[in-house]
Amino acid sequence: MIGVLLAGAHPGQRHPGVRDTADLARGALLIRFGRAFGPNRTAHWQRALLIAALIGLTMQGLQGMRWLTGLVTDRTGDILPIAEWPFIVASALLPIGGLLLMGAGRRWPAAGLAWALIAVEETFVYLMVLEHSIPAPGPLALATYLTTWEKLVPLVATVSLTLLREPRRGLKSLGPARLALGFAGLLTAFIWVEELARFTPAFLAGLAVFAVTAGLALRSATGRRLLILLALPSFAYMALLLRYFDSGLVAVVGMVALCAVTAVFPRQGDPRAPEARRAEP
């Protein structure tokens, strides 16, 4: 496209004219929305839901690991009853297992673990309510995390994995494997944002990983797209932790925005018109 603009430029012209600029902006919008709402929209939205599932499980896994770390190091001094430990361990391991199975292309086992995650968390909340009907610090503070956001995210992951074929499409569309570190680093940094005030080693380590991988990711179009995708749930989660917005609103807007951006900005190289290409000799 730049070559076309240069070829049509007048001698000495350094910038496109107003009409060319408006035409480029209009063309870009047509291309983006044509893909998200055009003939092959189903494939783009399916990929978007699988990426939402991927990000959802990763966030759940990181959150579970955070709880687990708190449980082991006992920083807060609020020791949970031993009977609740399995729930914490399960909430950390089930999403990680789901991610691994998703990466291996095992749709039904991955969906099974996602369903199990919902069952574990629902049971945990139920037990919390039964056991601690009187507000108390510690366990109830933990239970307050299991609000709408924490219910919606695994629900999206579970429904996506249950309904959609080839879960690896989400991984492939997200970007090359080397960007996975940036992915985890960014989420870790934002999920552990609460540690910011304390400047704990955990937060600083997450921030360092994020800085390095974000720098690497910015070098490619796929990496920049990945950063935009990950920034949405990360900032939504941060806003939730800082209590700027209602949990339900953040959850719905965050997930819808994530899917919409994924569908409108498909990764370069994502199949665009498989039906048409198959028809080609």
Interface residues toward other proteins, by CB under 8 A: 1-5, 7-8, 19-20, 22-28, 30-31, 34-35, 38-40, 272-273, 275-277, 279-281
CA distance 107 to 81: 35
Least Å distance, CB 258 to other proteins, is 23
Least Å distance, CB 1 to other proteins, is 5
Least Å distance, CB 46 to other proteins, is 16
Closest to other proteins by CB, 30 vs 136, is 30
Closest to other proteins by CB, 16 vs 70, is 16
Least Å distance, CB 221 to other proteins, is 13
Among candidate residues 51, 4, 104, the one with its CA nearest the CA of residue 230: 51
Closest to other proteins by CB, 36 vs 193, is 36
Closest to other proteins by CB, 134 vs 280, is 280
Least Å distance, CB 39 to other proteins, is 6
Q: Is residue 231 packed enough to be buried (19+ CB in 10 Å), middle (13-18) or exposed (0-12)?
A: middle
Least Å distance, CB 13 to other proteins, is 14
Closest to other proteins by CB, 4 vs 130, is 4
Least Å distance, CB 9 to other proteins, is 11
Closest to other proteins by CB, 7 vs 82, is 7
Closest to other proteins by CB, 37 vs 199, is 37
| The two structure tokens encoding residue 161 | 């994995």
Least Å distance, CB 266 to other proteins, is 11
**Ordered DSSP codes for the chain:** -HHHHHHTPPTT--S--HHHHHHHHHHHHHHHHHHHHSTTHHHHHHHHHHHHHHHHHHHHHHHHHHHHHHHHHT-SS-PPPGGGHHHHHHHHHHHHHHHHHHHTT-HHHHHHHHHHHHHHHHHHHHHHHHHT-S--SSHHHHHTTSSHHHHHHHHHHHHHHHH-S-THHHHHHH--GGGHHHHHHHHHHHHTGGGGGGT-HHHHHHHHHHHHHHHHHTTSHHHHHHHHHHHHHHHHHHHHHTT-S-HHHHHHHHHHHHHHHHHHSPPTTS-S-HHHHHH--
Amino acid letter, 109: P
